[in-house]
Amino acid sequence: MARPAGRRAEILETFTRHVAEFGYERTNLGNIAKELGMSKGTIVHHFGTKAQMMRELEANLMNRQLDAVRSVWERLDKPQERIAAFVFACAVLQVVARDATVASQREVVQLADDPGMQEVRKLRHELQHMIEVELRRGIDDGVFRPVDVGAVTLQMWGSVQWMWVWFQPGRGHTPEEIGSTFVDILLGGLLVDRFGLNVLSDPNGEVATVVSETFAADSAR
């Protein structure tokens, strides 16, 4: 995914960091302008409103997550591998896109009814649909137990969305280790045969490695 460049990108990155640290309501464009040594009018010129900046923050993160999951899934075919990869990707995002992830997840209901967030909701629904498809495929293949696919998808989504509250990168656990615990619990409850679960949840295994390599290649671009 191409990254925005220049002054506009610098403004959005600073805004993202402020939202992650202080929350959307307490983020002040005047403070951002002061930090960057520019006028508030310059920020307004680039984005118009604080709400528009939040929309772009959300859209950029969702697109990055979708791009990563699609790339990983091109290398992994089995439904259990793909679900595990999604979970690992959510954990790795906590590090490689820390500010954006925290800002988005702590403000998950912010602008929820805003018509301008329609594109973000569409992207989120697309990713959730991808998960649902893999869950159904796993059930049809006899890999997963019959479950309420919609409910399990939301349960999975909700659990990884709250990771930012307690996971502090660099303090004891790698994102792969955190992802491993989630995979073990989430897939452990889905798999008909738990033999091989340790391979799927291995923080140094193939699935985790594919995810890490994908994000490393993305960051290098």
For residue 27, what are the CA distances in angstroms to 31, 92, 105, 164? 8, 26, 16, 19
Region 88-107: mean pLDDT is 92
Residue 117's pLDDT band, with cuts at 50, 70 and 90, is: confident
Per-residue model confidence (pLDDT) at position 110: 65
Region 21-28: mean pLDDT is 93
> Of 30-34, 74-78, 120-124, 198-202, where does mean pLDDT reach its minimum?
120-124
Q: For residue range 168-206, what is the model confidence (pLDDT) as tens digits?
A: 888 889 999 999 999 999 999 999 999 999 999 999 999
In a domain, 163, yes or no: yes
User: For the chain, how many structural domains are there in total?
Assistant: 1
In a domain, 2, yes or no: no
Domain enclosing residue 159, as ranges: 59-220
Region 61-79: mean pLDDT is 95
Average pLDDT score, the chain: 91
What is the number of H-type helices and E-type strands within the chain?
Answer: 12, 0
In a domain, 37, yes or no: no
In a domain, 16, yes or no: no
Can you tell me the distance from the alpha carbon of 131 to that of 125, in angstroms, rounded to the nearest whole number? 10
Per-residue model confidence (pLDDT) at position 113: 75
Can you tell me the distance from the alpha carbon of 52 to that of 111, in angstroms, rounded to the nearest whole number? 10
Q: Assess contact for 114 and 32: CB atoms under 8 A.
A: no
Per-residue model confidence (pLDDT) at position 115: 81
Residue 78's pLDDT band, with cuts at 50, 70 and 90, is: very high
DSSP 153-200: HHHHHHHHHTHHHH--TTSS--HHHHHHHHHHHHHHTTBS--TTHHHH
- Its pTM stands at 0.90
Using the predicted structure, report yes or no on whether residue 1 has a pLDDT greater than 80.
no
Torsion of CA 148, 151, 72, 102, to 10 degrees: -170
Dig out the tokens for 9 from the structure. 């990108």
Residue 4's pLDDT band, with cuts at 50, 70 and 90, is: very low
Using the predicted structure, report yes or no on whether residue 76 has a pLDDT greater than 90.
yes
The CATH number assigned to the domain holding 77 equals: 1.10.357.10
Using the predicted structure, report yes or no on whether residue 72 has a pLDDT greater than 60.
yes
In a domain, 21, yes or no: no
Which residues have CB under 8 Å from 57's CB, separation 6+? Answer: 12, 15, 16, 19, 100, 103, 104
Q: Which residues of 48-66 are buried (b: 16+ CB within 10 A; e: fewer)?
A: eebeebbbbbbbbbbebbb
Using the predicted structure, report yes or no on whether residue 92 has a pLDDT greater than 90.
yes
In a domain, 34, yes or no: no
